[in-house]
């Protein structure tokens, strides 16, 4: 799949909660309705650099945009300005207790599962970045079945089914990373697609993983294969769907006013 295309997106159940007439909607309908139009085509060179987004909301809808190591948040009247690149954000480091929590298994990202531990057992690389990139490749190989938008599977279920969408890819990656003693978070937001489900230039709902490398949280995306500056974070969690429905119910109210590329493509050592 070419860079810039969303190859997996959110399960239908999380999206339908934001629509009043969900009974007649298919998964594809819900995803199209939740996608946010981009005012511009975003070339790969810009996506690999730094992008400054100005985002407005309709009907007075607000959202607590999270500051991360890659996303800097500024409020400007009725709009929010998000600056995104590999090291744009100013998120404070987590506490030891928070890191310990981000290593623990849960129902959705279960690093205690024998099959997932086996998947992660051959991981190679001295650095967290190399190990995470190896795990991204292993998860993409395991999830070789057709894309299925209709469910929200746990990491155990996703491993067995070998199919799903970006939710399952993110949950399996999170579980595999924790099996290698890497603290991880599961994040949800939107990511740019030049073409997706009959639409052009949209930000579709998406999920990926952030890993702690000892000094900062860094994003890894098993759905698209690579994090870039078109990944906009809405909510940070541990894979549980509890907070996600509320976040994605807000998507219909978002309007991207501008997306300004501030720098050319960055090598950034990645």
What pLDDT shows up at residue 72? 98
* Mean pLDDT across the chain: 85
The 3-state DSSP class for residue 81 equals strand
Phi, psi for 194 (deg, rounded to 5): -70, -35
pLDDT of residue 2: 30
Structure tokens at 135: 């795990």
Tell whether the model's pLDDT for residue 8 goes beyond 70: no
What is the full DSSP assignment across 221-245?
-TTTSS--TT-EEEEEESS-TTTHH
Strands of the 51-57 sheet, one edge to the other: 71-76, 79-84, 51-57, 254-261
Q: Within a domain: residue 267?
A: no
Residue 225 domain-assigned (yes or no): yes
Question: Of residues 60 and 224, which shows the higher confidence score?
Answer: 224
- 33, two tokens: 């309705």
244 in a structural domain? yes
Looking at the structure of the chain, the number of domains it has is 1
Q: What CATH number has the domain bearing residue 75?
A: 3.10.620.30
Binned at pLDDT 50, 70 and 90, residue 34 comes out as: confident
Residue 269 forms part of a structural domain: no
- Select from 138, 153, 162 the least CA-distant residue to 239: 153
Please report the sign of the dihedral spanned by the C-alpha atoms of residue 50, residue 52, residue 57, residue 62. positive
Q: How far apart are CA 268 and CA 227, in angstroms?
A: 12
Question: Is 7 contained in some domain?
Answer: no
Residue 2 covered by a domain: no
Q: Which of 109-113, 168-172, 248-252 has the lowest mean pLDDT?
A: 248-252
Q: Is residue 6 part of a domain?
A: no
pLDDT digits (tens, 9 = 90+) for 105-120: 999 999 999 999 999 9
Task: Report if residue 3 sits inside a domain.
Answer: no
CA distances from 94 to 115, 183, 185, 212, 217 (A): 30, 11, 12, 9, 9
Least-confidence region, from 73-77, 133-137, 149-153, 246-250:
246-250
Provide the residue range defining the domain that includes 145.
Answer: 12-261
Concatenated DSSP letters for 157-212?
HHHHH--B-HHHHHHHHHHHHHHTT--EEEEEEEEEEEEETTEEEEEEEEEEEEEE
Q: Which of the four pLDDT bands, split at 50, 70 and 90, describes residue 89?
A: very high
Question: In the numeric block, which tokens belong to residue 187?
Answer: 């994040």
Is the pLDDT assigned to residue 15 strictly greater than 80? no
């Amino acid at each position: 799949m070419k860079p810039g295309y969303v190859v997996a997106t959110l399960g239908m159940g999380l999206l339908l909660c934001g629509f009043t007439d969900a009974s007649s909607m298919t998964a594809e309908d819900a995803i199209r309705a939740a996608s946010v139009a981009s005012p511009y085509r975003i070339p790969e060179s810009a996506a690999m650099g730094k992008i400054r987004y100005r985002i407005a909301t309709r009907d007075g809808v607000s959202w607590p945009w999270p500051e991360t190591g890659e996303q800097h948040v500024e409020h400007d009247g009725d709009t929010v300005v998000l600056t995104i690149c590999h090291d744009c954000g100013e998120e404070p480091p987590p506490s030891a207790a928070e890191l310990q929590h981000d290593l623990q298994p849960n129902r959705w990202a279960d690093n205690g599962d024998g099959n997932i531990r086996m998947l992660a057992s051959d991981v190679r690389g001295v650095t967290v970045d190399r190990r995470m990139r190896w795990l991204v490749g292993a998860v993409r190989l395991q999830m070789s079945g057709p894309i299925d938008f209709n469910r929200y599977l746990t990491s155990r279920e996703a491993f067995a089914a070998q199919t799903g969408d970006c939710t399952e890819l993110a949950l399996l990656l999170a579980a595999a990373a924790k099996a290698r003693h890497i603290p991880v978070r599961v994040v949800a937001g939107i990511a740019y697609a030049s073409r997706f489900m009959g639409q052009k230039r949209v930000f579709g709902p998406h999920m990926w993983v952030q890993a702690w490398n000892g000094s900062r949280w860094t994003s890894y995306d098993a759905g698209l294969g690579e994090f870039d500056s078109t990944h906009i974070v809405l909510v940070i969690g541990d894979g549980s769907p509890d907070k996600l429905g509320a976040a994605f119910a807000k998507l219909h109210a978002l309007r991207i006013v501008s997306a300004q590329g501030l720098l050319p493509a960055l090598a950034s050592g990645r």
